[in-house]
Amino acid sequence: MVKVVDPGMLSTIQDLPRFGLARFGLSEAGAMAPESFREANWLAGNDQELPSIEVTMKAPRLLFLAPAIIGLGGADFGWRLDGKVTPRGEGFSVRAGAMLQGEYCRQGLRGYIAFGGGLAVKRWYGSAATQVQAQMGGQVLRKGDELSWIGGTAARRCQETFAGPAYRGSYKILRVVEGPHPELFGPEAFALLTAGLYRITEKSTRTAVRLEGLAIPCPAEPMVSAGAWYGAIQVPPSGIPQILGPDHPATGGYPIVGSVIAADFEVMGQLRPREEVRLGRVSRETARQLWKRQQDWWSAR
């Protein structure tokens, strides 16, 4: 068992997405930086992605009441175990009585703490993912919470990380495909979307990454509410796009000019406030190939 001494800024239990509930108004939730989530699980010895702790901006402080195997993935929080710097790129054993803590993230925005065998938490409709806004599923960690895990794994070590591009460069690139409502926009809309830099605002959440930058001409007439998804790029009346995250509303009345490809969700999930991002157009076929390449990389581990 592990006790939450300090929950940090926003620490939640996340799991694989929960599909099939959009007709009831609930999005899929799940890890916002899925490759870091996968990395942490792999390092902890798990052969599949299991419920773990998603950490945002500021690290929690955890007191281990029992021995555990853990893996740390994603952003660099300067993790320390009993005051000693933890190894990067490898899972490790934690003794009972040890304290794991970190700082504000040094690069990126989100990290994951995975436990050997996964956290022993109740799944709701097949997943333990936390939908923060709706307060459904999983759990937002609070001071004094105690969590247990299954155990029975051996730690792993990896010499390379999949998520490197999420942290490099003066600005980040999100690759996008054209959206389902081209008839609602002028012919120049998608070209404008991919023409310049956007800046991430402090209003960004798991629901949507809020941008500031070049406005896109928005349809004058309101649109009938339609389905929404993780990665959809909506254009509200202000003309400033916003990118939906895993806690997105299931439907929305804003037209969708494009969509971030699934292979770039990791980069999107690590975008920090005030960081700049450029949107680059790709074809749907290229998006499928990039997704397959990402899956093949993990299959080869």
Task: Dig out the tokens for 1 from the structure.
Answer: 């068992």
Contact 296, 289 (CB under 8 A): no
Whole-structure pTM value: 0.94
Give the residue from 210, 208, 211, 203 showing the smallest Cα distance to 230. 208
Task: Dig out the tokens for 64 from the structure.
Answer: 């281990």
Task: Dig out the tokens for 84 from the structure.
Answer: 């000693």
3-state class (DSSP) for residue 199: strand
Q: Average per-residue pLDDT in the chain?
A: 92
Q: What is the pLDDT of residues 231-278, one digit of tens each?
A: 999 999 999 999 999 999 988 889 999 999 999 999 999 999 999 999
Instruction: List domains and CATH numbers for the chain.
Output: 2-162 (no CATH), 169-299 (2.40.100.10)
d(CA 110, CA 246): 14
d(CA 16, CA 6): 25
Going by C-beta distance under 8 Å and a sequence separation of 6 or more, which residues neighbour residue 270? 33, 36, 74, 75, 108, 109, 110, 163, 166, 167
Mean pLDDT of 41-55: 95
- Predicted local confidence at residue 167, as pLDDT: 66
d(CA 144, CA 181): 47
Task: Dig out the tokens for 104 from the structure.
Answer: 């504000």
d(CA 75, CA 267): 11
Q: What is the pLDDT of residues 91-113, one digit of tens each?
A: 999 999 999 999 999 889 999 99
3-state class (DSSP) for residue 135: coil
Q: What is the pLDDT of residues 52-74, one digit of tens each?
A: 999 999 999 999 999 999 999 99
